[in-house]
Amino acid sequence: MTGLPSSSPPRPPRGCFVTGTDTGVGKTVVTAALAVCLRRRGLSVGVMKPVETGCGAGLPGPSDADRLRAGAACDAPMDLLSPYRFAAPLAPLAAARQAGVVVSVDRIVQAYRRLAARYPAILVEGAGGLLVPLTDRDDVRDLIERLALPVVLVGRCALGGVNHALLTIEALRARGIPLLALVLNRQAPYRAASDEAVQLASTVELLKERNGVPVIGPLPYLDSLAVMEREGVSELSRDPGIEALADLLNRARP
Ligand SMILES: Nc1ncnc2c1ncn2[C@@H]1O[C@H](COP(=O)(O)OP(=O)(O)O)[C@@H](O)[C@H]1O
Ligand SMILES: [Mg+2]
């Protein structure tokens, strides 16, 4: 017995990195809905959009960082929540070069650690897909490795979704990055008198069969998301798919 007080290190937060098979697949909507769901379960949620392009004063619509902040009701300052923000609607490295800025992955990791010390749950949204370059050396996948977060992959359930999802899963496995779930998202309403239901079901089945990780969805297409995003995100947060994602996140906590 030394008589010294025992101090255990603080428990790391629940967290995940939300990436997509592409841009525009629903990463922000899914991340915001997951944040609302976790808050309903009593957790305070930190969110991050480390690099965002096509955002800034005078540009139409709220930025991803603003949409995530609204979902999570996260009051963190913007320089932690979204350290690199560029007006040019270009890929991150192109936008950074145009602005004469060199993105530092170290700075992003430091911002993440400060958020992680403050919130018991952290959700980080990537930019575009997994191999999008952020610096001359590092891409989104390198950033995920540095943050040591499990991944939630959002993909399309329309035709083409199987190949896109499997390519991204292969790229994650090549680095041994844990994949928490594949979330399939709908971005168009059902077309009446089409065989879309068969296509959707077969996409889900093939992906379940092939990838060995939980496949969530297809999440429903919600008109409310286009009309009033806050209400749409709230509605989506009650979908069984988002609830299942929140359960997985809880279980994966280190
Ligand atoms: N399930 C859905 N139902 C209706 N609209 C959706 C759905 N998912 C995404 N959208 C819409 O698709 C667009 C792209 O979604 P977003 O979350 O911004 O994609 P990403 O973050 O991957 O670029 C947004 O306008 C969003 O409102
Ligand atoms: Mg987004």
> Is residue 190 within 6 Å of ligand 1 at its C-beta?
no
Q: How far is the CA of 161 from the centre of ligand 1 (A)?
A: 15
Pocket test for ligand 1, best of 22, 67, 187 (most atoms within 8 A of CB): 187
Torsion, CA 27, CA 152, CA 207, CA 26, rounded to 10: -10
Confidence of residue 190 (pLDDT cuts 50, 70, 90): confident
Mean per-residue pLDDT, 215-236: 94
**Residue 205 tokens, joined:** 């089945």
Tell me what pLDDT residue 187 has: 83
Confidence of residue 212 (pLDDT cuts 50, 70, 90): confident
Strand-pairing partners, residue 51, are 84
* Closest CA to ligand 1's atom 20: 24
Q: How far is the CA of 60 from the centre of ligand 2 (A)?
A: 15
In order of their start, the domains of the chain are: 14-251 (3.40.50.300)
List the catalytic residue out of 27, 49, 67, 164: 49
> Is residue 53 within 6 Å of ligand 1 at its C-beta?
no
Q: In this predicted model, what pLDDT tens digit does every residue of 14-47 receive, in sequence order?
A: 899 999 999 999 999 999 999 999 999 999 999 9
Give yes or no: 49 in active site.
Answer: yes
Cα 198 to the center of its chain, rounded Å: 28
Q: Distance between CA 93 and CA 90 in Å, rounded?
A: 8
